[in-house]
Amino acid sequence: MSAGHTAITTPGGTGAGEPVISCETPQDECGVRDVLDRLGDKWSVYVVVELASGVLRFKELQRRIHGGISQRMLTLTVRRLERDGLVKRTVHPTIPPQVEYELTELGHSLTHLVKSLADWSIAHRPDIAAAREAYDERAAQAEAGTAG
């Protein structure tokens, strides 16, 4: 796991030991950008999550996500994931054609991260909601104060 160009230090007196990400090439942000470019789009995470539980065919995958992903977007998404080696695509040359999707090992290793993300989100959702309310409140008041 030799991280290479990532290091952790703890700033002054903040106490708890928050990680400070430092890298030789700050523009790359140590590669965080890479993962985010992969998962930051609208559907990739959904696909990974659904595939985490097993092999799925195209239509079935579409049905599960069915908050309503279009054929087009599902195709684009699985293609990208396949290209990145996160998803394996198996074509059975039957009639009608049958295509199965599953996570690769690499893809499975990602599910741990996704899990962390989910946990953090759930744990802090109330905090964020509160922060937003407070912010919007202040914004509204500032608006009122500025107007007139």
Partner DNA sequence: CCGTATCCAACTAGATACTG
Partner DNA sequence: CAGTATCTAGTTGGATACGG
* Residue numbers 61-120 binding a copy of itself by CB under 8 A: 64, 67, 82-86, 103, 106, 108-120
Q: 4 and 31 in contact (C-beta within 8 Å)? A: no
Please, which residues have CB within 8 angstroms of residue 67's CB and are 6 or more apart in sequence? 46
Residue 117 binding target from DNA, a copy of itself, none, CB below 5 to 8 Å by type: a copy of itself
C-beta of 98 vs 109, nearer to a copy of itself = 109
Q: 88 and 102 in contact (C-beta within 8 Å)? A: yes
Q: Which residue stretch of 34-42, 70-78, 90-98, 140-148 sits at the interface with a copy of itself (rule: CB under 8 A)? A: 34-42
Our measurement of the distance from residue 102's CA atom to the centroid of its chain's CA atoms, rounded to an integer in Å, reads 18
Provide the 3-class DSSP secondary structure of residue 73. Answer: helix
C-beta of 98 vs 133, nearer to a copy of itself = 133
Give the x/- contact pattern for DNA in 42-81, rule: CB under 7 A: xx-------------xxxx-------xxxxxx-xx-xx--
Q: Which residue stretch of 43-51, 70-78, 90-98, 140-148 sits at the interface with a copy of itself (rule: CB under 8 A)? A: 43-51
Least distance from DNA to the Cβ atom of residue 141, Å: 15
Q: In residues, how long is the chain?
A: 148
Burial 103-116, CB ≥16 within 10 A → b, else e: bbeebeebeeeeee
Q: Is the peptide bond before 96 cis (omega within 30 degrees of 0)?
A: yes
Residues in contact with DNA by CB under 7 A are 41-43, 57-60, 68-73, 75-76, 78-79, 89, 91, 96-99
